[in-house]
Amino acid sequence: MPITTCIFDAYGTLFDVAAAAQQAANDPRFAVLRENWADLAAQWRLKQLQYSWLRAVAGAHTDFWAVTCDGLDWALEAAGMDDDAALRQRLLDLYRELGAYPEVPAMLAALKAAGMRTAILSNGSPGMLAGAVRSAGIGDLLDDVLSVESVGVFKPDRRVYDLVGARFGCDAGEVLFVSSNGWDAAAAAGYGFVAAWVNRAGEPMERLPWTPAHVLGDLTGIAALAED
């Protein structure tokens, strides 16, 4: 079945989630971050994801901005920086304006030129996603931005992946689903999508019942996959 629709996770896939901490570390006001911004970014991201999974399992949904704030608060306390309100606010402000990875605009443009439908499917709340899309300047390259807030549960719940077929009227086998999260790519493969894992960090494959069809180091090969 040919691919007609390319769906992208947002955070870590299109948008660089470590960029907020990296940018803050370059600010003379926050010199404390210069040596450990990467560790803070990693811990922030890990807790953000863990809280989304735990809330999904417990049936205690909140929007992704609240989860993002909670994850940052945990990471700042773990790093001994939780008494710096200005640093916290700066990191959150920067997170609302994340840039896209360098290859994203050309990759999306190539998909559109090939006649593909393109969209984001993300845990992010609509306001967060609108800000990131605007900041990255890719709004004209997307047909839609789908948020889990319409179903009230985080990925990898199947109701989230159902949003794609409901929006585009396509079969799962027509969808190339792209994520930098190994667990997300695996769950999407289990759902029936053709899944591509963007494994920028060279991590091991997740030990889950499903395996993504493709593994790439970045997004530059996505257009070629969609046309195969």
DSSP-assigned letters across all residues of 162-214: HHHHHHH---GGGEEEEES-HHHHHHHHHHT-EEEEE-TT-PPPP-SS---SE
Residue pair 45/91 in contact (Cβ under 8 Å)? The answer is: no
Alpha carbon 48 to chain centroid, angstroms? 11
Separation of first and last alpha carbons in the chain: 10
Active-site position among 9, 16, 63, 184: 9
Alpha carbon 10 to chain centroid, angstroms? 3
Would you call 9 a catalytic residue per the annotation? Answer: yes
Residue pair 195/214 in contact (Cβ under 8 Å)? The answer is: yes
The C-alpha atoms of residue 150 and residue 169 are separated, in whole angstroms, by 17
Pairing of strands 175-179, 5-8: parallel
Residues 6+ apart with CB under 8 A from 163: 121, 146, 148, 150, 151
- b or e along 197-222 (b: 16 or more beta carbons within 10 Å of the residue's beta carbon)? bbbeeeeeebeeeeebebebeebbeb
Phi, psi of 205 (to 5 degrees): -65, 140
Residue 19: half-sphere exposure toward Cβ, Cα within 13 Å: 20
User: What are the residue numbers of the active site?
Assistant: 9
